[in-house]
């Protein structure tokens, strides 16, 4: 799996996830295709790309590609610029498949929200599509 951004884990992924939370340090290179045309003079990372990073991290720690069933309570507080250093933190929430997330930077909170993954047990109950931000 090739990612369109750079990711680094400070702690082993599996041990942190057992505690119900995982964090990763992320940097989106200036040549990322997500910045093309969004916007030419002052590039910013689109919100869907931010949600894609959350989904990628969850799929990685769970070891499988699960579709997104719902995204809620999303708040975009700041713009993400090329090469900006970010921390993405995902926590298990009370309901099965539910996860709270936050993206932070040097200036504080950038994006927060909740993402619900389909459990993958019955494909007929999964939503009509998935979003995936990785390349094969």
pLDDT in tens, 24-46: 999 999 999 999 888 888 999 99
Say how many Å lie between the first and final Cα of the chain, rounded: 6
Residue 3: pLDDT band by 50, 70, 90 thresholds? confident
What DSSP assignment string belongs to 86-111?
Answer: EEEEEEE-SSTTEEEEEEEETTEEEE
The model's pTM is: 0.82
Residue 51: pLDDT band by 50, 70, 90 thresholds? very high
Query: Residues 5, 28: contact at Cβ < 8 Å?
Result: yes
Distance between CA 92 and CA 99 in Å, rounded?
A: 5
Q: Is residue 136 over pLDDT 70?
A: no
């Amino acid at each position: 799996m090739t990612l369109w951004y750079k990711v680094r884990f400070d702690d082993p992924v599996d041990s942190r996830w057992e505690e119900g939370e995982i964090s990763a340090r992320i940097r989106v290179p200036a040549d990322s295709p997500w910045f093309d045309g969004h916007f030419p003079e002052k590039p910013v990372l689109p919100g869907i790309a931010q949600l894609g990073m959350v989904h990628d991290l969850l799929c990685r720690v769970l070891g499988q590609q699960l579709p997104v069933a719902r995204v809620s309570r999303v708040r975009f507080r700041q713009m993400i610029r090329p090469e900006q250093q970010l921390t993405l933190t995902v926590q298990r929430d009370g309901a099965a498949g539910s996860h709270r997330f936050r993206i932070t930077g040097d200036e504080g909170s950038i994006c927060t929200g909740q993402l619900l993954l389909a459990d993958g047990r019955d494909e007929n109950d999964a939503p009509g599509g998935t979003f995936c931000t990785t390349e094969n």
